[in-house]
Amino acid sequence: MYETIHMLHSYLAYIALAVLILAVINAISGLVGKRIFNMGKDLRLSLFALILCHIQLLVGLILYFVSPSGLSAIQEFGMGGLTSAARLLAVEHPFINILAIASITVGWSRHKKFVDGAKKFKSIAIFYTIGLLLILSRIPWGQWFN
């Protein structure tokens, strides 16, 4: 079970990250280009990024509880006994990514309150970019390229 969830979390990360990057680029280009917020393409791309990020978070939380490098590592070694690589996987990666998904969710929720397309794009651009930067800061890059 652990291997399946780990593989799902790993492959879904590529897809979620790609769609999130596309949503950020779309929101920034819509804001800079002063486009009208299209309820088809713009809305769906932002919503799809939100959904994929939430699914990735749920899979990651399940992985956190079944993985030997998640909660069980903290229980076994304690917070002081973790190496920097183990601390990244057991503490920093989950915590920062929860904050990132919260930021993306705030951006989605705020954009719904606005009628003006520029404000919609601005809300998505700011909060999705914050979420993207947080995610990129805590990806275990060493494991991604092995």
Distance of CA 135 to the CA centre of its chain: 5
- Number of domains the chain is built from: 1
Its pTM stands at: 0.89
Only one residue has tokens 């002081």, namely 80
Minimal CA–CA distance to 30: which of 133, 130, 135, 126?
126
Q: Degrees (nearest 5) of the Cα angle 43, 18, 126?
A: 55
Provide the residue type at 80 as one letter.
G
**pLDDT tens, residue by residue, 85-119:** 777 787 888 999 999 999 999 999 998 898 888 89
pLDDT at 71 over 90: no
- Domain span at residue 46 reads 1-143
